[in-house]
Amino acid sequence: MGSGERKPFENKTIEWIDSRLPIFTIMNKEYGVFPTPKNFNYFWNFGAIAMVMMVIMIITGITLAMHYAANTEIAFSSVERIMRDVNFGWLIRYMHMNGASFMFIAIFIHIFRGLYYGSYKQPRELLWMLGVTILLLMMATAFMGYVLPWGQMSFWGATVITNLFSALPLIGPGIVEWLWGGFAVDNATLNRFFALHYLLPFVTVGVIFLHVWALHVTGSNNPSGIEPKGPQDTIPFHPYYTMKDTAGLLLFLIIYVVFTFFMPNALGHPDNYIEADPLVTPAHIVPEWYFLAFYAILRAITFDINLLMIAGGAIAAYLVAVNLWYMEKPKHCPVSTKFNVPISKDIELCKLEPLMAACAVVLLGIGGLIAFMPDLGISKMAGVVSPVMIEAKLGGVLAMFGSIGLLFVLPFIDRHPHRSARFRPWFKIAVLLLVLDFFILTWVGAKPAEGIYVLIAQAATAYYFAFFLVVLPFLNKYEPRVELPPSIHQYVLDQKAKKKKKQDEYMNSLTPGAAE
């Protein structure tokens, strides 16, 4: 930074500073003339929008911290004092409360953009993984922030979520007590959550810096998923995208403001206006809406995972890995000399694959029977040879963290050379189904975990994992390779021509004979 060639500025003050510390040169290089693909759509606004929300959250959050008291005796009433007696306290608190929701909305759309247009692919893998890290940090921050008002949902949400760690074998109970700083969620817990809720956003800012840095090394992806090949493909960031981002940001802020001023409690839970009471458990403990999808995955694992299921799953994973994942290897028998154990003279391991597939189906079938219908006589008999390996509670915790872990390693699962779903007809359907799946999970996460809702949650969880572990590897190998346009520039011209043709056809259809 700053050691390269520098063009002098005309303004003397700016030049004086810049020749000593070239911040103006850097700003101009990274946000002024920075070459940016010229075909962004409005989905590309959401990085900037998330950044603005982050700033709003930090400013309102610091102001709230000046009035809030992290003590179980007075935390609840200190928040009410902010709402009633602090100048504009109601405004700052409602902005912060709804700001969390809208920051998640921005981030979810931002992540969807990355998924749909393949922004996570080479060379942007690290950029993507830093992004998933930001999501994790945000989730931790939001969870601890929700505890601070010390309402009923604060307390019981904290109790449920921290208790999850007790599912870990051996170290679990110790970890939970360590998190609590005692033997229950209490004053020590509230205090440390406040300290961490104040700290983590600044850690997040650090990771955001790395995220943006990585972005400015690789440059942005774009709706076509084709890398810019020259100046005809790009435009300077300013004024084109500064102005487009501002326009999109304002529309987003308008929706945010409608919630903040006219329905500030619509996204919250009424129980959080009741002070925490360890002796009264709410009828349904639910997290904030942005966690509901992950909460649904957690609760979907209602069954113990047994030995047969793990064995069947391992064989299935082997088959997926060798057959679908490494598509560069053209031969059907990818594990060549080293692992091809000759069973007899002419049977190699790969020829056993149909048999292995049958094995996997049988093992998963019997294992599933034991897990889902433990009361059947056959299950009880089979249960003897298939002990429980992972209890339901631990299974749920692993699934919940696994759902984010899969996002983290996504760049290494999806190996199809095309990025954008616009040139991947099958992927497009699969990824849009994933979005629908996420909404179903969010919806079912708010429902009580009983009856049909459990089945819906399990089906939706199954698709979520299948998307990453089965569908993407399958597409790696079998999705047709559509021919890509030679450049972004050409792609934009093609699209314009297509649009014009459509318009002309429409006009012609309106006035018959006008074309002649």
Partner 1 sequence: MKTLSIICLALMLVSAPAWAAGDAKTPPKQDWHFSGPFGTYDRGALQRGFQVYKQVCSACHSMKLLSYRNLADLGYTENEVKAIAREYTVTDGPDDEGEMFERPALPSDRFVSPYPNAEAAKFANNGAYPVDMSLIAKARKYGPDYIYALLTGYAEAPAEKELLPGQHYNKYMAGNIIAMAAPLSDGLVAYEDGSATTVSQYAKDVSEFLMWAAEPKLEDRKQTGVKVILFLLAFFGVMIAVKKKIWSDQH
**83-112 as b/e, with b when 16 or more CB fall inside 10 Å?**
eeebeebebbbbbbbbbbbbbbbbbbbbbb
* Residue the block writes with tokens 């179903």: 440
Total of residues contacting partner 1 (CB under 8 A): 50
The encoded tokens of residue 487 equal 């450049």
Nearer CB in complex with partner 1: 142/315: 142
- Provide the mask over 376-415, with x wherever binding to partner 1 is found by CB under 8 A and - wherever it is not: ----------------------------------------
Nearer CB in complex with partner 1: 206/270: 270
Q: Is 69 in the site for partner 1 (CB under 8 A)?
A: no
Residues 73-102 that bind partner 1 (CB under 8 A): 77, 80, 83-84, 90-91, 94
Q: Is 270 in the site for partner 1 (CB under 8 A)?
A: yes
Give yes or no: 80 in active site. no
Closest CA to 154 of 164, 144, 163: 144
Min dist. Cβ of residue 402 to partner 1 (A): 23
Catalytic residue, candidates 110, 121, 233, 245? 245
| Nearest-5° Cα angle at 234, 231 to 240 | 135
Listed ranges 117-125, 240-248, 311-319, 346-354: which one lies at the site for partner 1 (CB under 8 A): 240-248
Separation CA 101–CA 485 (nearest Å): 39
The encoded tokens of residue 202 equal 């600044």
Give yes or no: 416 in active site. no
Q: Return the H-helix or E-strand segment holding 91.
A: helix 89-116
Q: Is 254 in the site for partner 1 (CB under 8 A)?
A: yes
Nearer CB in complex with partner 1: 77/281: 77
Closest CA to 319 of 278, 288, 286, 360: 360
Catalytic residue, candidates 220, 224, 403, 420? 220
Separation CA 215–CA 123 (nearest Å): 10
- Please select the residue that binds partner 1; options are 59, 274, 356, 389, rule is CB under 8 A: 274
Other C-beta atoms lying within 10 Å of the C-beta of residue 278:
12
Min dist. Cβ of residue 365 to partner 1 (A): 34
The encoded tokens of residue 249 equal 């940001």
- Please select the residue that binds partner 1; options are 178, 261, 339, 478, rule is CB under 8 A: 261
Q: Is 161 in the site for partner 1 (CB under 8 A)?
A: no
- Bond preceding residue 123 cis, omega within 30 of 0: yes
Give yes or no: 245 in active site. yes
Residues 427-466 that bind partner 1 (CB under 8 A): 432, 435-436, 439, 442-443, 446-448
Separation CA 299–CA 282 (nearest Å): 18
Listed ranges 271-279, 295-303, 372-380, 482-490: which one lies at the site for partner 1 (CB under 8 A): 271-279
Catalytic residue, candidates 18, 233, 271, 288? 288
Min dist. Cβ of residue 292 to partner 1 (A): 7
| Nearest-5° Cα angle at 151, 148 to 156 | 90
Q: Is 276 in the site for partner 1 (CB under 8 A)?
A: no
Give yes or no: 516 in active site. no
- What one-character DSSP code corresponds to residue 151? B
Closest CA to 134 of 407, 470, 472: 407
- Provide the mask over 2-41, with x wherever binding to partner 1 is found by CB under 8 A and - wherever it is not: ------------------------------------x---
Separation CA 83–CA 325 (nearest Å): 55
Q: Is 253 in the site for partner 1 (CB under 8 A)?
A: yes
Phi-psi region of 225 (alpha: psi -120 to 50; beta: other; left: phi over 0): left
Helices within 321-424 (DSSP H only): 353-372, 377-383, 392-413
- Bond preceding residue 239 cis, omega within 30 of 0: yes
Listed ranges 20-28, 257-265, 341-349, 353-361: which one lies at the site for partner 1 (CB under 8 A): 257-265
Q: Is 267 in the site for partner 1 (CB under 8 A)?
A: yes
Give yes or no: 220 in active site. yes
Q: Is 500 in the site for partner 1 (CB under 8 A)?
A: no
Catalytic residues: 216, 220, 244-245, 288
Interface contacts to partner 1, rule CB under 8 A = 38, 77, 80, 83-84, 90-91, 94, 112, 116, 235, 239-240, 243-244, 246-247, 250-251, 253-254, 257-258, 260-262, 264-271, 273-274, 283-284, 286, 289, 292, 432, 435-436, 439, 442-443, 446-448
